[in-house]
Structure 1
Amino acid sequence: MDSLLPRRVLAWLVVLVMTAVLGISVASSLQQTPSPQTPPPPPPSWALPTPYPDRIILTWSDDPATTQSVTWRTDTSVTKAVAQIAPAGDGPNFTQQAKTVDAQTTPLQTDLGTAHYHSVTFRDLKPNTLYAYRVGDGTYWSEWFHFRTASDRPQPFTFLYLGDAQNDIRSACLRVVRQAFLHYPDVLFVLHAGDLVNRGDRDIEWAEWFAMMGWMGATIPSLPTPGNHDYPRDAEGQRRLCAHWRAQFTLPENGIPTLKETNYYVDVQGVRIISLNCMEQREQQASWLERVLEDNPNRWTIVFTHYPIFSSAQGRDNPELRALWKPIFDKYRVDLVLQGHDHTYARSKPQPSGTVYVNSVTGPKMYKLNPQPWMHRSAQDTQFYHLVHVNGNTLRFEAYTATGKLFDRFEIRKRPGRVNQVVDR
């Protein structure tokens, strides 16, 4: 019996070793076998087109005092769309004065199927006048919305500036936009500094963006400029403007012809608003910008673009863009440059030319701040909206957090024959 003990121990050791080896082998095999990818959930019903108009958005493509553009979406069953407009009235009989305008229809193939986008530009409107309008096909109609045309002279106004929305738009960015409109509903327009969505070729993300804008987008004009995420990569890895952009936004075509509706300017109540497309043809835009600034009858000039001239996030810089465009801003004393991309907040110290640069973010995606000498005020891990008030020789900029707290405020004061004065308030 004693002679059998070592043999039994040895046998058990062999079994234990083999079991351990087998277990390691099985575990390794399981780790190397890819788990089946979870398919994305089906799109919610509110994201899919129907015969009823949705994604209704006001933009400007011509004179804001006498025209107003509107774009909307339906399913493909709507092949002939129209819009109706009338001066807004206090009672329901205003509809008796409604005029009907035929829409242009564009099919758009998306990853969720094909939809029809329709657009109308109302013309021959009266300045500073409240209008009511609706869109549809004669059977399926939207509700009546109001909008007010701009004045044809330099009257005081306020606009809303939003940084990147980009990620988790419906769940985390919408609250900021709602707070902005609750805070100050009487804005003349909304300026979007690029990266409206994260993947410009994903229709569900645009569904979230339009859910964020909601009825506000149908009553207050938007002016967007594209960012890198609005330029998804194609099969060859090249970035191209997403197909949604021109289908759903009716914007000016007074920029470089190959960059229509992304590089443009609008003159409104004494301010020239200029969109620079940072994604392509930068040198050509520099030449165009010279001409647009040289022949500028407006008191104020505001540029908005996505990539910042001065970066505020860690590991980012745009020296080529700065070398190309900043000397032109300096030469013509551009008053304010509004930007996105860096997912932080930063306001520059006044430049020798008097220009003030602002980077900001509205959505929940955040980067680490890279403090630099050019900054006067900065923040990280904070969502913002901004109100810009223009009144005569004074422009007042206010930055508010998602909960409506004032974070930064300054004034730019025009001084004839001298550089602008920038004053903290």
Structure 2
Amino acid sequence: MTIKYYLFAIVLSISSLTALRAQHHHEGLHHWEIPSKDPDRIILTFSGDPATSRAVTWRTDTTVVNAKVQIAKATVNAKFVAAAQTLEAKSEVFDLGLYKGNNSLRVHYHSAEFNDLEPDQLYVYRVGDGEAHWSEWIQFRTAKSNYAPTQFVYFGDAQNEVLDHWSRVIRRAYQTAPDASFVIHAGDLINSSHRDSEWAEWYKAGGFIHSQWTAIPVVGNHEFYPLAKGGPRQLSIQWRPQFSLPVIEELPAELHETVYTVDYQDIRIIVLNSNDQLEAQTTYIEKQLASSTAKWNIITCHHSVFSPAKGRDFQFARENWKPLFEKYNVDLVLNGHDHTYARGHVPVRSADTSDSDGLGTVYVTSVSGPKQYQLDKEQIKAYAADGYQPDNSAEQTQFYQVITIEDNTLTYIAYTVLGDEYDRAVITKDFDSGAKTLQD
């Protein structure tokens, strides 16, 4: 054997071992789960003023260390490319093997913020390594700087068999409201918080929609699970790397990026973590509502304040959060968790709909995934003691909701996965007095 051949054999052996080791890390993974130089799991979130900023996060393999983003104003042709601004992204190593249910595999998550954008402007962006491996160009529109018509989508739990059975829900929602300004995912996005194969399904189910609609993700109870048997429950190890979300410094660190507020065109959306440290959030809720000058105030958290399902009861929220919602005239509360559908309101409307106390807060619980529970009709009736009046309900049905706000009217529509309208509620509001009426 010549020295040249011997050296070649060594190199080949090393390459083979490396390939085998890589195959071991990828064993059992679908091709769309395996990271590469090409960006995947691209998602837009809010960071700062929605009229002038956005955040984007994506994933690659560990060979991409100097990730880039490019952004430009959209044009009717491809000439925007020449004017595109290139920005450096932040990158972090993430070890999927922190959870033993995942393959022992390291990836890179990358994130960047777009700042100093123009209000009500259509932009295009792409993410990549700055060389040969880029995503497609993706469009989004910034918010207007003042009050204007807005439409957004809301999903209850996706959670189970996400790729098989939730994909048609988000895709049908996109067909119904393609120009939605943002989307609220009200917790339990997947079933097993740390299991990366489930997050892969969530991203594949939504595809490009995640990178075009700006997401407002909410943590549910299934975003928490022990990393090891017998250990404490922990927030999904993927949550903070894959979503760039506001950090509220006044809150405990455990609540960072799970409790935050988004102000979008005179709509204040307060996102809560209904799993932990509820007292600390009670203070935060009052501060955010007391300081709000928004025309509409919306709360979203995972657990249902008025749970319609058997064996469920979020008593803390009814005793501590509901009085604040009433005090500050919150318009809409959007929940998940109970795998059923229910819409109701507090207080009970009087016969005279001109009465300024005729309508307080509308509460909705919904489910978008295939896991379904039974309604507890007796429990729903018992909420009358809290002034709750049920308006509509359903079970064994996958839903998505489209909310449209224009002038002094908020129109809420619940659609089945077939795209059929199931439920509608129209809130009309006097912005001077705060008085509201509800029309089904």
Q: Same fold by TM (over 0.5)?
A: yes
Q: CA deviation at 1:41?
A: 8.2
Letter in structure 2 aligned against 1:338: L
Partner of 2:60: 74
Q: Does 1:159 align with 2:152?
A: yes
What is the distance in 2 between the residues matched to 1:149 and 1:257? 31
What is the distance in 2 between the residues matched to 1:324 and 1:350? 15
Conserved? CA contact 2:329–2:434, under 8 Å: no
2:368 corresponds, among 357, 362, 367, to 362
Q: CA deviation at 1:234?
A: 3.3
CA pair 66-337 structure 1, distance change in 2 beyond 3 A: same
What is the distance in 2 between the residues matched to 1:322 and 1:75? 46
1:116 corresponds, among 108, 119, 133, to 108
Letter in structure 2 aligned against 1:43: L
CA pair 41-364 structure 1, distance change in 2 beyond 3 A: farther
What is the distance in 1 between the residues matched to 2:242 and 2:315? 33
SS at match of 1:72: strand
Q: CA deviation at 1:45?
A: 0.9
Letter in structure 2 aligned against 1:245: W
SS at match of 2:165: helix
Partner of 1:36: none
1:278 corresponds, among 274, 286, 291, to 274
Q: Does 1:88 align with 2:88?
A: no
Conserved? CA contact 1:350–1:422, under 8 Å: no
What is the distance in 2 between the residues matched to 1:104 and 1:123? 15
Letter in structure 1 aligned against 2:47: S
Conserved? CA contact 1:50–1:74, under 8 Å: yes
What is the distance in 1 between the residues matched to 2:28 and 2:85? 40
Q: CA deviation at 1:251?
A: 1.0
What is the distance in 2 between the residues matched to 1:286 and 1:237? 28
Partner of 1:261: 257
What is the distance in 2 between the residues matched to 1:343 and 1:304? 16
SS at match of 2:135: coil
CA pair 294-384 structure 1, distance change in 2 beyond 3 A: same
1:203 corresponds, among 163, 185, 196, to 196
User: What per-residue deviation string (whole Å, max 9, x for no partner) do you get for residues 353-393 of structure 1?
Assistant: 61000000000000011122242100000000000001121
Conserved? CA contact 1:61–1:253, under 8 Å: no
Q: Does 1:243 align with 2:237?
A: yes
Q: Does 1:218 align with 2:205?
A: no
Letter in structure 1 aligned against 2:67: A
SS at match of 1:240: strand
2:127 corresponds, among 135, 138, 152, to 135
What is the distance in 2 between the residues matched to 1:398 and 1:289? 26
What is the distance in 1 between the residues matched to 2:227 and 2:37? 31
1:53 corresponds, among 31, 39, 61, to 39
User: What per-residue deviation string (whole Å, max 9, x for no partner) do you get for residues 248-279 of structure 1?
Assistant: 00111136251111100010011001101011
Partner of 1:422: 438
Q: CA deviation at 1:237?
A: 3.8
Conserved? CA contact 1:354–1:422, under 8 Å: no
SS at match of 1:232: strand
User: What per-residue deviation string (whole Å, max 9, x for no partner) do you get for residues 380-408 of structure 1?
Assistant: 00000000001121101000000011100
What is the distance in 1 between the residues matched to 2:264 and 2:345? 27
Q: Does 1:409 align with 2:395?
A: no
SS at match of 2:412: strand
What is the distance in 1 between the residues matched to 2:221 and 2:130? 39
Give the greater-gyration-radius structure (CA).
Answer: 1
Partner of 1:27: none
Conserved? CA contact 2:46–2:216, under 8 Å: yes
What is the distance in 2 between the residues matched to 1:289 and 1:249? 22
Letter in structure 1 aligned against 2:322: K
CA pair 237-369 structure 1, distance change in 2 beyond 3 A: farther
SS at match of 1:375: strand
Q: CA deviation at 1:182?
A: 1.0
After superposing the two structures, state which structure 1 stretch, 192-201 or 351-360, moved more.
Answer: 351-360
Letter in structure 1 aligned against 2:188: D
Q: CA deviation at 1:418?
A: 4.9
Partner of 1:344: 340
SS at match of 2:207: helix
Aligned length: 385
What is the distance in 2 between the residues matched to 1:397 and 1:251? 26
Conserved? CA contact 1:167–1:197, under 8 Å: yes
Percentage of identical aligned residues: 46
Q: Does 1:307 align with 2:303?
A: yes
Q: CA deviation at 1:57?
A: 0.2
After superposing the two structures, state which structure 1 stretch, 313-322 or 398-407, moved more.
Answer: 313-322
TM-score, with length taken from structure 2: 0.85
What is the distance in 2 between the residues matched to 1:185 and 1:92? 22
CA RMSD across the alignment = 1.4
Gaps of 5+ in 2: 1-25, 97-101, 349-358, 382-388
Conserved? CA contact 1:166–1:197, under 8 Å: yes
Gaps of 5+ in 1: 1-39
Q: CA deviation at 1:420?
A: 1.7
What is the distance in 1 between the residues matched to 2:62 and 2:27? 24
What is the distance in 2 between the residues matched to 1:190 and 1:267? 14
Letter in structure 2 aligned against 1:403: L
Q: Does 1:389 align with 2:375?
A: no
Letter in structure 2 aligned against 1:419: A
What is the distance in 2 between the residues matched to 1:257 and 1:137? 35
Moved over 3 A (4+): none
What is the distance in 1 between the residues matched to 2:27 and 2:372? 26
Conserved? CA contact 2:345–2:360, under 8 Å: no
